[in-house]
Amino acid sequence: MYNKEEITQWFMSLQDDICDELETADGSAKFLEDPWEREEGGGGRTRILTQGNVIEKGGVAFSAVYGKTPEKIQRALQLSPSDFYATGVSIVIHPQSPMVPIIHMNVRYFEMDNGIKWFGGGIDLTPHYINLSDAQYFHQALKEVCDRHRPEYYDRFKNWADDYFYIKHRDESRGIGGIFFDRLSPTEETSLDTIFHFVQDVGRAFAPIYTHLMQKNSNLAYGEQEKNWQLVRRGRYVEFNLVLDKGTKFGLDTQGRIESILMSLPPQANWQYNYIPPIDSPEYQTLQYLKKGINWVKA
């Protein structure tokens, strides 16, 4: 059975591989590494790429932290007092072009010294403009990953993503979702190793999916209207991450490094008061798709 050291090493190698592939696809900028240590235990290495040909700001962060489980997390997760260990990789990419989507991935492992162990993670896509063929490609790729493991995974985790990546105060989805799962623990039918193999496949799927979307869309024409809309949609992204995202809250509750926790934020965003795009505009059409329950595979 895999132990936490082996899982940690694999997450580190995943960070290396994804950074290499994103640099190649961007063709210009390089990731800068910012190693850090957590006073309470552990640390990580945050890698940031800025002002590339395709990527305006991208973060690929690895962390492995440990120590006493904060009381707030114990209460939220209904856990008994214990020490914890958490490791994983988190990614958010904000592109230069509004025709290229924002993407997020997180894969993580959590264990406590009382024997509790689980994996979590997922990938979701946030297009500024929803292209149905891209949405179908994205969800089909994730479905194929899920289907290699358990036939019920895609529908289960797709619905979980629809519910999770939902901006309640706006009554709209953050993007077109993807898959999301949390607290996948060993059972009589599923071992920890089996769950880890699924998480590994999710992690490996990221670079091929996103570099395809980068190459397909980065040369499409756009103008001031599209850039303004990109900033509005980035504002929605910020609202979700600061108000609703559990990963942000976990990082803050465990005294994580603030620069790494907030690496997901875009370099610029706008909040226009009561902005409603014209009904016949591409922007308005995108808003019609920001809903739960859409079958993107058949879109």
**E-only strand ranges, 21-177:** 32-37, 42-50, 55-68, 83-95, 102-112, 117-126, 166-167, 172-173
What lies within 8 Å, CB to CB, of 102 at 6+ separation is: 92, 93, 94, 95, 125, 126, 127, 128, 175, 233, 234, 237, 266
Quick one: CA dihedral 79, 82, 87, 90, positive or negative? positive
Question: Nearest-CA neighbor of 29 among 99, 93, 124?
Answer: 93
CA–centroid distance for 126 within its chain: 10
| Calpha distance 64→148 (Å, rounded) | 28
Active site residue 104: yes
Which entry of 104, 139, 169, 197 is annotated as an active-site residue? 104
Question: With contact defined as beta carbons under 8 Å apart, do 205 and 138 qualify?
Answer: no
How many other CB atoms sit within 10 Å of the CB of residue 273? 4
Question: With contact defined as beta carbons under 8 Å apart, do 63 and 43 qualify?
Answer: yes
| Calpha distance 136→295 (Å, rounded) | 9
Q: Enumerate the active-site residues.
A: 104
